[in-house]
Structure 1
Amino acid sequence: MENTTNFKLIDGEFTAEETQKVLMSLINNKIDFHNLFAFSNHIRFNQDSNASKRRIEELTSTRDEIAELTKLAQSEGFSFRIKSNVSLELIKEPTLVK
């Protein structure tokens, strides 16, 4: 079995509005995941998940930047080409959630 496998996640051309919907959906799902993960750790183990909190801040900032960019693109009549791949690498032990 190979240690790394790549998957094409997004590959296409999108209007500014479609771009915002696609990327916001991905980012919001990641934020929801980290919120749930942090809440679960707090309830089950009485631990704060600083890694999740930092990642939520990063994702929120990215979400704001994408919102600004897509708004500008829409007002100027631009579209986007999005290419996104996911690389899965087999590891022995789990690391911090990203």
Structure 2
Amino acid sequence: MNNLEKLTLIEGNFTTEEAKEILHNVFMTKIKFHEHKNFSSIERFGKDDATAVNRIPELKKELQRLNEIFVWAQQHHKRLHLSSEIQISFIEE
């Protein structure tokens, strides 16, 4: 294995509605992941997961920004090019 692996998650041109569906699902999945992680931490350890608690509002803010982009694109009759690459690097535990 290489020390850095790259995977293409999203690549292409989309209508505003298609892009909205794709990206909304990605962001909501990450938000739900952190909500579940925090809930699990509270149940198991009696305290919040600091990373999850910090990340949830950041993701919600980005989702709001994303919605503003979609509104603008729709008002201006634009299609959207989305490109998303996942980079995986190996680190010592």
Q: Distance in 1 between matches of 2:45 and 2:89?
A: 28
The CA RMSD over aligned residues, in Å, is 0.9
Identity of aligned residues (%): 31
Q: Report deviation, 1:45.
A: 1.2
Q: Report deviation, 1:47.
A: 2.0
Tell me the TM-score normalized by structure 1. Answer: 0.90
Name the structure 2 match of 1:44. Answer: 44
Question: How many pairs were matched up?
Answer: 93
- Asked if 1:72 corresponds to 2:90, the answer is no
| Residue pairs, 1:1-98, within 5 angstroms | 1-93=1-93
Could you list the structure 1 runs, at least 4 aligned residues long, displaced by more than 3 angstroms after superposition.
none
Q: Which residue identity does 2:54 align to in structure 1?
A: R
Q: Which residue identity does 1:27 align to in structure 2?
A: F
Name the structure 2 match of 1:96. Answer: none
Structure 1 unaligned residues grouped into runs of 5+? 94-98
Tell me the TM-score normalized by structure 2. Answer: 0.95
Greater Cα shift, 44-53 or 81-90: 44-53
